[in-house]
Amino acid sequence: MPVHAADPPKHKTALVIHGGAGVIERGSMTAEEEKGVRADLNAALDAGNAVLSKGGPALDAVVAAIRVLEESPRFNAGKGAVFNAEGKHELDASIMEGHTQRAGAVAGVMTVRSPILLARAVMERSEHVMLAGQGAEKFADSLPDIERVPNSWFDTDRRRKQLEEAQAKEKAQAGVHVKGSYFGTVGVVALDQQGHIAAGTSTGGMTNKRYGRVGDSPIIGAGTWADARCGVSGTGWGEFYIRAAVAHDICMRVAYKGDSLATAAEEVVDKIVPAMGGDGGAIALDKDGNIAMPFNTAGMYRAWMKPDGTRGTAIYNDEKETPAH
């Protein structure tokens, strides 16, 4: 009988998802809305896990899960994206593969149905890491598989109301920056059977943002990071996430300081960002399948599947899942 080498042991998989952090207090959503959010988060977990359980790459799992949330009007990514100050949608997204540190990003796209797919195309089908605005649109023109929609396709009544409220507040407090309170960005980090990590983020940015404003979500190292040990996707007030290089900082604390993932993520999200005046949250995953989901806001939509197969969704901070240190 021929002797076969034993199959190499498969790495245990894990998946973590956020659907944005912000003012999400108990009572601010109807039971129906809450059910819808949890159903979407579960559908995103299922889509990502379908890839991972078959031995597929973390990168595919990240894209599959983000696609579900981009298509849902409940999240500030793809359909349901927030409006900028001119009543339009400008979408940002990025993706990074940990073991190769390849990355792709798009900023300010206005007609691309799935910004995460275009970010992946920048990574895999261009020689660049990031394309912005009209250049990104032009790149999309050259890719027949990238679906295009009119900018109004992203409209939802709920987001228009939020724009009107933000603009009324801004007028009432002339000259004072109104802190963004309508988050809903989506992000996913996955660990596959090869032990590889990937992370991605997709967003409409912040309500009432100035035309041309780019947040942290498409900035590699700020809103998204993945390396061989660690992956992060952030959500929150993007200007602070850029200034604190949040996603990179979390993973470098693990790499250089030897911090546990939970300590690193909590330190950055609960101390560094608020000390600067920002707010938000992050999801992080390491090569051992440890998950951290800290946030310093009233809530963060989140979902996880651990290496032992247990899974869950949570919204409010009193549902906080205590990550293993």
Residues of this chain that interact with ligand ASP (CB under 6 A) are: 20, 76, 183-185, 203, 205-206, 215-217, 223, 235-236, 238, 241
Query: How many other β-carbons are positioned within 10 Å of the β-carbon of residue 176?
Result: 9
Closest by Cα among 247, 237, 238, 309 to 283: 247
CA distance 324 to 263: 10
Q: How far is the CB of 259 from ligand ASP (least distance, A)?
A: 23
- Comparing CA positions, the residue from 203, 104, 103, 109 lying closest to residue 148 is 109
Give the strand pairing for 280-286 and 230-236. Answer: antiparallel
Fill in the amino acid letter for 122: V
Pick 217 or 260: Cβ nearer ligand ASP: 217
Q: Name the minimum Å distance from CB 36 to ligand ASP.
A: 19
Residue 108: CB minimum distance to ligand ASP, A: 11
What is d(CA 217, CA 196) in angstroms, rounded to the nearest whole number? 21
CA–CA distances in Å: residue 44 to residues 47, 239, 302: 5, 27, 11
Please, what is the minimum distance in Å from the beta carbon of residue 12 to ligand ASP?
A: 29
Known catalytic residue at 185 = yes
CB of 173 to ligand ASP, least distance (A): 20
Helix (H, G, I), strand (E, B) or coil at 169: helix
Beta partners for residue 177, in sequence order: none
**Which of 51, 251 has the CB closer to ligand ASP?**
251
As measured in angstroms, the least distance from the Cβ of 309 to ligand ASP is 29
Cα distances from 311 to residues 108, 187, 204, in angstroms, run 34, 17, 27
Instruction: For residue 127, give the DSSP letter.
Output: S
Q: Give the full edge-to-edge strand order of the sheet including 280-286.
A: 224-226, 230-236, 280-286, 291-292
Q: Which is nearer to ligand ASP, 111 or 235 (CB)?
A: 235
Q: For ligand ASP, which is the closer residue by CB, 287 or 302?
A: 302
| Catalytic residue (choose from 13, 100, 156, 185) | 185
Question: Which candidate, 62, 56, 73, 21, places its Cα nearest to that of 184?
Answer: 21
Nearer to ligand ASP, 51 or 136 (CB): 136
Query: Smallest distance from the beta carbon of 71 to ligand ASP, in angstroms?
Result: 18
Cβ burial of 261 (10 Å; 0-12, 13-18, 19+) is buried
In terms of CB distance, is 235 or 313 closer to ligand ASP? Answer: 235
> Quick check: 300 and 294 in contact, CB under 8 A?
no
- Choose between 52 and 222: whose C-beta lies nearer to ligand ASP: 222
**Shortest-Cβ-distance residue relative to ligand ASP:** 238
Residues identified as active-site: 185
